[in-house]
A and B are shown apart, each in its own frame.
Chain A
Amino acid sequence: MALSIEDIKKVAHLARLEISDADASATLTKLSGILRLIEQMQAVDTTGIVPMSHSQDLSQRLRDDIVTKTNQREAFQKNAPVLGNGSTESAVAEGLYLVPKVIE
């Protein structure tokens, strides 16, 4: 399955990664090499083999429905990024995080 520049750009958009035309072209070469490596899998007959997602076949543990975490908003918000677009303030206000307006 050969990749195209358009594929790279589409996948980059799905992954929310901005990519320039020059970078997309360089990425195409490297990703094509990696996909060729991955293609070796297609030669294997896997009919009837149950996929293995984990090494230990465990069922998910359940816990009691009680509060286990305390509110640490202030501690967590110390790691907020700088707002940007000319402001050097932290991207928080009144305990919330600031992002560009998404609803008009």
Chain B
Amino acid sequence: MMNRSLKQFGEMLQTKKISSVELTQTFLARIAQHNPSINAYIALDEAKSLAQAKAADALIAAGKASPLTGIPIAQKDIFCAKDWPTTCGSKMLANFVAPYDAHVITQFDAVGAVNLGKTNMDEFAMGSSNETSYFGGVKNPWDVERVPGGSSGGSAAAVAARLCAAATGTDTGGSIRQPASLCGFSGLKPTYGVVSRYGMIAFASSLDQAGPMAKSAEDCALMMNVMAGFDERDSTSLNREKEDYTRDLAKPLQGLRVGLPKEFFAEGLDASVGKVIDEAIAAYKKLGAEIVEISLPNTGLSIPVYYVLAPAEASSNLSRYDGVRYGHRTAEYTDLMDMYCKSRAEGFGAEVKRRILIGTYVLSAGYYDAYYLKAQQIRRLIAQDFVEAFKHCDVIMGPAAPSTAFKAGEKVDDPVAMYLQDIYTISTNLAGLPGMSVPAGFSNGLPVGLQIIGNYFDEARMLNVAHQYQQVTDWHLKMPQGIE
């Protein structure tokens, strides 16, 4: 039952084999049973979820259902949802109740999907293991001693443990794709500007992008049909015609040119992960794809560039948390400066403070050209690498993460080692390109994700490429033990 696709859940609802209220109750019961050991959800509100389910059942009865009507979706706690606690994984916002809906939430509401709850995440989406959350780490359902990846770790664990039908995430440097790889499901980061950032708490605004986290490529396509679309309230939202992301799913892959960047298979890649990726590439050859060797020569620079640009943008975005109008305010203070400094020191965790300090440093007088401007110049070189590569191939493939899920605590004291988790994902954020991770097999019982990178606005093709692979493999249907 829990392994059903969104399409199958939708058919069950629309043929009245199950009601949305029953389906929502089933998921809430699973959450009650498994969440204490996984910590995927940090806010649940049974009454609100069931009220939405009831309304969805009325829509279905009235014949007004669309594919996601009545389907319970987990929302990353970075999205403001009216009257729901919205914390972004931070003590700073521990008592914040959103007074309005993010565009993404509005889109799901408009089709009658059910908000099943808010999911745990790295604080302000800064992390690759979900260990920076104020609300505690999330356990990887495949091995509870290991991390689920991050920053969308709660959504990742919820999808992997089948504690939701699908979930939302956000990806600034890999926060959808790396957890999708570590938890064994399908996750898509769209082209920058395709999904509105309105009401999505900002980390690094020129890189942040929301996307679906679900079992299969087909599920991701159905989620994209709801999430994508122009929104004038986000100044970087792209005014494009509405797309049906499912339109190309069935296309054969004969003649597809798959580019393999040699830099993605070099030093730093775990050999057993590399083997799984090689097998996935072999499956694509069988499907008729042609393999092209390509080069993305500036891949190695993506991490240094990212750790200038993202903290610089974050230090600016997070200056709004001053303890004046909302968020944490310190209990005892002498004057306004003292109130700011103490409230921020207490409200933010160690990793967030580190990034604010780096950002403030690289933007401070005398260092701007050497760091920020230099990083923006190399960002262009990285984007140009992709432009060149896409002259020779239709999609790019490689690993989504250099290793499988690592143990909790293993990298927490070494920020640089943690940052290297995103070596294969960050460059697409810098270039603004879409990327996804799909389950490609296992290494020592832990999931491995294949990354598929597409050209700008090529999400439908990437979903087609992933879907065809999922027609000949069943990695995306594997579930961790002990959760059925």
Contact = CB atoms under 8 A, between A and B. Distances in A.
Interface residues of A, number: 54
Interface string B288-307: 00000000000011011101
Contact count band on B: 35 or more
Contact of B341 (A18, A41, A75): A18
Contacts, number: 184
A31 B304 contact: no
A3 B377 CA distance: 24
A75 to B, nearest CB: 5
Contacts of A38: 304, 307-308, 358, 362, 371
A71 interface: no
Given A38-B307, A50-B380, A91-B329, A79 B336 contact: no
A85 B236 CA distance: 42
Interface string A1-35: 00000011001111111110000000100110111
Interface stretch (B35-43, B55-63, B165-173, B342-350): B342-350
Nearest to A15: B360
Contact of A72 (B99, B380, B433): B99
Interface in A43-64: 44, 46, 49-56, 58, 60-61, 63
Contacts of B380: 49-52
A33 B370 CA distance: 17
Interface of B: 95-97, 99-100, 192-193, 206, 232, 235-236, 238, 300-301, 303-305, 307-308, 315, 319, 322-345, 348, 353-354, 356-362, 364, 370-371, 373-381, 383, 414-416, 419, 430-433
25 contacts: A15-B359, A16-B340, A19-B345, A30-B415, A31-B361, A33-B414, A34-B307, A41-B301, A41-B304, A41-B305, A44-B381, A46-B374, A52-B377, A52-B380, A55-B192, A55-B193, A55-B383, A56-B193, A79-B325, A81-B326, A81-B328, A81-B343, A82-B331, A84-B331, A97-B325
Smallest CB-CB A-B distances: 10 pairs? A55-B432, A51-B376, A81-B329, A46-B377, A52-B380, A79-B326, A18-B345, A18-B341, A49-B377, A15-B360
